[in-house]
Amino acid sequence: MDNAPAKVKRDINPVKKFFMEHENIRQIVVFTLCSLVCFAIEYISFTVIELCIKGLDQPVDWIVFEYDHARTFVAFLVSNVLAQTATFVLNRKKTFKATNNVLISGIMFAIMMIGIILLNTYLGGVITTAAKRTFESSMGAETAEIVAGYCGKLTGSLLSFVISFLGNKFLVMRNWKVASYKAAIYEAEYEHAPAELLAADTEEE
């Protein structure tokens, strides 16, 4: 005789059920929403930092980093650090529901983050410099510098989005308990039958 508790099917929000049954789509949607938050953090901090250190006009030519102004270099670097830190905090549990060791996950994320930041900072300098030289002929030098800076940031943000999603999903924040999703779907669709219903069924038998 089966002693498992009886369960009855209940209505479940179709949108919620869809995302529970299509985990990859849910991850992309949630990751995109979290990325928008990080995007805001990155661009607000980039703008504020650059305005706060406007006096740093000296050029930067260090290893592979080349910027016309030190303030842009510092703003790129710090805003990237803030955005990537927010990415880890938001996505580890909300997006990927990671089950791997948080310390190991943090170390792997730090390595990936450093790579992304260095790549973004490098590309930011290259794109910003090239865009500034292109726009200077059609707009003032100051306006061209602002527009060029955001061109570099947008390119870096897109690249960061792709690398971060793939790296987090398949390595850094991997969820090894795939079977738990099927159990979650079942639990969401079914609930324990009320005692009154069980009693009524027993009397009918």
> What pairs with residue 8 in β-bridges?
191
HSE (CB half, 13 Å, CA atoms) of 137? 4
Residue 196 has pLDDT above 50, yes or no: no
Instruction: State how far the Cα of 89 lies from the Cα of 74, in Å rounded to an integer.
Output: 23
Worst-scoring range by mean pLDDT, 4-8, 28-32, 75-79, 193-197? 193-197
Identify the H or E element spanning 66.
strand 65-67
Task: Tell me the pLDDT tens digit for each residue of 146-169.
Answer: 888 888 888 888 888 889 888 988
Give mean pLDDT, residues 163-189.
Answer: 70
Residue 89 has pLDDT above 80, yes or no: yes
pLDDT of residue 178: 55
Residue 175 has pLDDT above 80, yes or no: no
pLDDT of residue 12: 66
Q: How far apart are the first and last CA of the chain?
A: 15
Task: Tell me the pLDDT tens digit for each residue of 114-134.
Answer: 888 888 888 888 888 888 888
Instruction: State how far the Cα of 160 lies from the Cα of 32, in Å rounded to an integer.
Output: 12
Mean pLDDT of the chain: 79
Residue 180 has pLDDT above 80, yes or no: no
Residue 28 has pLDDT above 60, yes or no: yes
DSSP type of residue 16: H
Q: Are 87 and 38 in contact (CB under 8 A)?
A: yes
Question: What confidence tier does 194 reach under pLDDT thresholds 50, 70, 90?
Answer: very low
Q: Are 191 and 10 in contact (CB under 8 A)?
A: yes
Alpha helix (H) residue ranges in 94-167: 102-135, 141-167
Q: Are 174 and 100 in contact (CB under 8 A)?
A: yes
HSE (CB half, 13 Å, CA atoms) of 197? 9
Instruction: State how far the Cα of 83 lies from the Cα of 39, in Å rounded to an integer.
Output: 7
Task: Tell me the pLDDT tens digit for each residue of 52-85.
Answer: 998 888 988 887 788 888 888 899 889 988 988 8
The radius of gyration computed from the CA coordinates of the chain, to the nearest angstrom, equals 25
Q: Tokens for 57?
A: 């006009």
